[in-house]
Structures are given as structure tokens and as C-alpha cells.
Amino acid sequence: MLKSVLKKENYYPQPSLDETISPAKQPVNQAKLKPKQKTTSPLLNFPSAPTLQVVSRQRVADYGEVYTNPREVNAMLDLVKPETERLDSTFLEPACGTGNFLVEILSRKLAVAARQYQKSQLEYERAAVLAISSLYGIDILADNAAVCHARLFEVFNSQYNAHYKTKCKQACGNTVRHIFRRNILQGDTLSFKTSAGNPIIFSEWKFPFNDSRIQRRDYLFEQMCRSADGLAPPVKSYSPSHFLELGDAE
Ligand SMILES: C[S@@+](CC[C@H](N)C(=O)[O-])C[C@H]1O[C@@H](n2cnc3c(N)ncnc32)[C@H](O)[C@@H]1O
């Protein structure tokens, strides 16, 4: 079930963009951002905001938006180091911002996947999907959720390309995008609702047969949080399918 890693403040090294979002291409000079300036979306600064901790005073006041710096992220994650290096350990960041914690957890897990499975591309892909599918995030701000999604995708994509270059499969990228779309959500963690006012539903992804078939089961976030043991009945179960076909429906 979902565990939470709690957070504090700052921003993180910024990867290049996932094409699913289209922020400004020109880097923004952070030194020019004045604290009182009206909200500047991190998306606009992406991917050039490695030192940004605060976007605007307004966003700090409205949303408590102060990002955690990499040193603190790593120190906190080191407190649960074995979990950050276990491919299927589940993390939920309930106020994920632009993904400072999730990005680092994914990097650690993918390093493990590479050490153990890089020799077989299919096994690495399966291990990477297992790692990816265990990470969840919610942020109330749409731009944060989009940047978080893009950064996570880029962590995967850069590693995947480094390992397999021209042998990389479009289908694997599609699967990863599909999972991040379901796992990284814009919503209000406190009310358990999406920005559209619908209940937040998270998908659990499992490889039930220890082969290439993955199964999705959907759960109501509120039910999971309110149950004493974190367990809740699924609201929907899907038939297992090959993990490289998950993105076909997109
Ligand atoms: C202190 S920042 C932390 C961001 C990130 N976890 C980090 O450590 O860098 C808090 C984040 O919570 C988000 N937030 C505030 N209220 C929220 C709510 N009710 N539900 C979900 N996210 C929320 C803000 O948009 C902001 O990105």
C-alpha cells in the first residue's frame, strides 16, 4: 500500500522537457525573478531552475510552495535508503510540487534496475516499469503536476537512451507516460478530490504472474487513507496485459 515520504522545500536539477508539455524554450534568468513578482509558473522556468526554492510570495502564502533542496532530499531519503533502492517499494508524495523527492527516488531505483538487469533489455524495461509504477504524487497546482510528470519522464528517458540508444522502444516510452499520467495527479490531497471535483483514484500496478503481464487495479484514495490498515477494495480491476502494450490505449 501507499507510504508517504514527507517533504520540505526547494528545487532540483532540471532535465530537458517531455514533449507532452511545452514551456518556454528560453531559459529564464532566476536572478531576475523578484520575490514580489506575481506568480511565475515553474513551468515557464523549466528546465532552467536548479536553484529555485520559491516561485512567488503569493504561491508561498496560498499553497505553502517552497521547494526542498537536493541535500535535504537526499538526507531524508537516506533515512529510508533500503526502500528507495527496492524496485517495488511504494512512495506517495502528497504535496509533490515539481517532484524533488520522486525524481531522486526514481533515479535511485533505476540505478538498481540497471545494475541488476541492464544486460537484458526486456528485463530492464520491466524492472524500470515496476519502479516507475510504484511512485505516486499529487499537487494542487496544475503546473507543478505537469513539471513533475515531465521531470520523471526525463529521468527514465535519459537513462533508457543511455543504455539502449537506437534500440529504445517507442512502446516502452508510451507505457511509462501512461503510468505517470495515472500516478502523478493534480488534486487536493486534503479533500481527496481532483481539480475537477472528482474523487482521486490511484491505480495499483502489479506483475501478478512474474512474467511480462501487468495488471491495473483502481482504488479510491480517500478509502485507502481512511481505512485503518490502508487497505480498501478496488473500484475497478483490469485484465492483465503485456506491459509494453499499456500505452496503446493512449
Ligand atoms: C512545501 S512545497 C513542497 C514541494 C515538494 N514536495 C518539495 O519538497 O520540493 C508544498 C507543495 O504542496 C502543494 N500543495 C499545497 N496544498 C496542497 C493540497 N491541499 N493538496 C496537494 N498539494 C498541495 C503546493 O502546490 C506545493 O507544491
Q: What is the pLDDT of residues 66-85, one digit of tens each?
A: 999 999 999 999 999 999 99
Contacts of residue 39, Cβ cutoff 8 Å, sequence gap at least 6: 55, 56, 58, 59
Is the pLDDT assigned to residue 122 strictly greater than 80?
yes
CA pair distance 104, 92, nearest whole angstrom: 13
Q: What is the structure's pLDDT at 29?
A: 33
Residue partners of 222: CB distance under 8 A and separation at least 6:
192, 199, 200
Grid cell 485507502 in the structure block, residue: 224
- Cα atoms found within 13 Å of the Cα of residue 215, Cβ hemisphere only: 13
Length of the chain counted residue by residue:
250
Decide if pLDDT at 11 tops 50: no
**Whether residue 47 has pLDDT greater than 90:** no
Largest CA distance in the chain: 55
Q: What pLDDT sits at residue 49? A: 41
Which of 184-188, 202-206, 226-230 has the weakest average pLDDT?
A: 226-230
Residue ranges lining ligand 1, Cβ < 6 Å: 7-10, 63-68, 93, 95-97, 100-101, 138-141, 144, 188-190
> What angle do helix axes 100-117 and 142-164 make, rounded to 10 degrees?
20
pLDDT over 70 (residue 3): no
Higher pLDDT, 42 or 63: 63
Beta strands 201-206 and 193-194, pairing class: unpaired
State how far the Cα of 61 lies from the Cα of 97, in Å rounded to an integer.
Answer: 15
Q: What is the pLDDT of residue 42?
A: 45
250 — pLDDT class (breaks 50, 70, 90): low
First to last CA, the chain: 26
Q: Is residue 65 predicted with pLDDT exceeding 70?
A: yes
* Mean pLDDT, the chain, whole residue set: 84
User: Exposure pattern of 49-86 as b/e (b: 16+ CB <10 Å)?
Assistant: beebeebbeebeeebebbbbbbebbeebbeeeeebbbe
Per-residue pLDDT at 7 exceeds 50: no
Distance CA 170, CA 164 (A): 12
Query: What atom in ligand 1 is closest to the CA of residue 8?
Result: 8
Q: How far apart are CA 232 and CA 49, in angstroms?
A: 39
pLDDT at 53: 87
Taking 70 as the threshold, does the pLDDT of residue 157 lie above it? yes
Residue 64's pLDDT is: 94
Looking at 3-12, 95-104, 166-175, 207-216, which range is the least confident one? 3-12
Confidence of residue 54 (pLDDT cuts 50, 70, 90): very high
**Comparing 30-34, 47-51, 81-85, 195-199, which segment has the lowest mean pLDDT?**
30-34
Ligand 1 atom 19: residue of nearest CA: 188
Contacting residues for 92 by C-beta, under 8 A, at least 6 apart: 2, 3, 4, 5, 136, 137, 138, 202
Binning pLDDT at 50, 70 and 90, where does residue 21 land? very low
3-class secondary-structure state, position 30: helix
Q: How far is the CA of 214 from the centre of ligand 1 (A)?
A: 31
Higher pLDDT, 198 or 30: 198
Q: How far is the CA of 161 from the centre of ligand 1 (A)?
A: 31
Average of per-residue pLDDT across 216-224: 97
194 burial (CB, 10 Å; 0-12 / 13-18 / 19+) is middle
What's the CA gap between 107 and 221, in Å, rounded? 26
pLDDT exceeds cutoff 70 at 108: yes
Q: What is the 147 CA–ligand 1 centroid distance (Å)?
A: 13
Q: Whose CA is nearest to atom 18 of ligand 1?
A: 188
Q: How far apart are CA 129 and CA 118, in angstroms?
A: 13
